[in-house]
Amino acid sequence: MKAIILAGGYGKRLYPLTQEIPKPLIKIKGKPIIQWQIEWLKKYSVDELVILAGYLKEKIISELGSGQKLGVKIGYAVEDEPLGTGGAIRNAFHLLDDLFIVLNGDVITNLNPLRLIEELRNSDKLCAIALIPLRVPYGVVELNGKNVKVFREKPLLKGYYMNAGIYAMRKEIENYLPLKGDVEKTTFTKLAEEGKILGVLYEEVQWNSIDSIKDIEEVEKILEDDQKAINVKGNKS
């Protein structure tokens, strides 16, 4: 199974960190984001990757090389000018199989990507998209009349889901991909109109998108807490 990682963006919201290094190489607990992703994919036996590189592409290629040191095979599809997510995927089609996984290069998660492949394979759709519960980005206050009843810190918004930035696609999707532009604004809209896109719900998973310094701090705290929990469990065994 192959996966492609969208790693060509400028990461403007993380400037000045991204002034000299591309966003996928920003380190989380001493390890680049893209390495976290590769190690996560390996756990699901996804060990053939295509990196879609653009901005500061030489640094990504230098860091990852052939993928041998991480136990995977890595190829590259390089864009000489910004193509958007749709154009970047289309640019890599000569390297892909009939079914493949796509993920944004700024996501750290533990969800099972093979569920997307399974759901897509058992359907007549062209794309399966991972969906996670929408979390309100702010604290919420509930009132009883004018009295404050309770404070809820970043609660989940029941019944609403958000795009997790991880997809499974069939190669037949090519005609829906723009030469330039983002799949979120072009391809997915058209597929939804034609009933050719599948939503796969992941209710209880870890998922974070790295868009700001605050996100880096939050993810590092989550990973640190996870490791402590593993250590405690191991000591009790």
Q: Does residue 163 contact residue 129 with C-beta atoms inside 8 Å?
A: yes
Distance CA 215, CA 164 (A): 15
- 29, 154, 171, 185: which is the annotated catalytic residue? 154
pTM recorded for the entire structure: 0.88
Q: Does residue 78 contact residue 53 with C-beta atoms inside 8 Å?
A: yes
What's the confidence (pLDDT) of residue 230? 47
Distance CA 27, CA 220 (A): 10
- CATH assignment of the domain containing 195: 3.90.550.10
- For residue range 71-123, list pLDDT tens digits in order: 999 999 999 899 999 999 999 999 999 999 999 999 999 999 999 999 999 99
- For residue range 114-124, list pLDDT tens digits in order: 999 999 999 99
Q: How far is CA 87 from CA 60, 107, 209, 221, in A?
A: 19, 20, 22, 35
Domain of residue 113, residue span: 2-131+161-236
Domain assignment of residue 146, yes or no: no
What's the confidence (pLDDT) of residue 227? 64
Task: Count structural domains, the chain.
Answer: 1
Domain assignment of residue 149, yes or no: no
Domain assignment of residue 47, yes or no: yes
Chain mean pLDDT for the chain? 91
71 contacts: CB under 8 Å, gap ≥ 6: 42, 47
Domain assignment of residue 139, yes or no: no
Residues of the chain with pLDDT under 50: 230, 232-233
Distance CA 200, CA 59 (A): 34
- Known catalytic membership, residue 154: yes
Length of the chain: 237
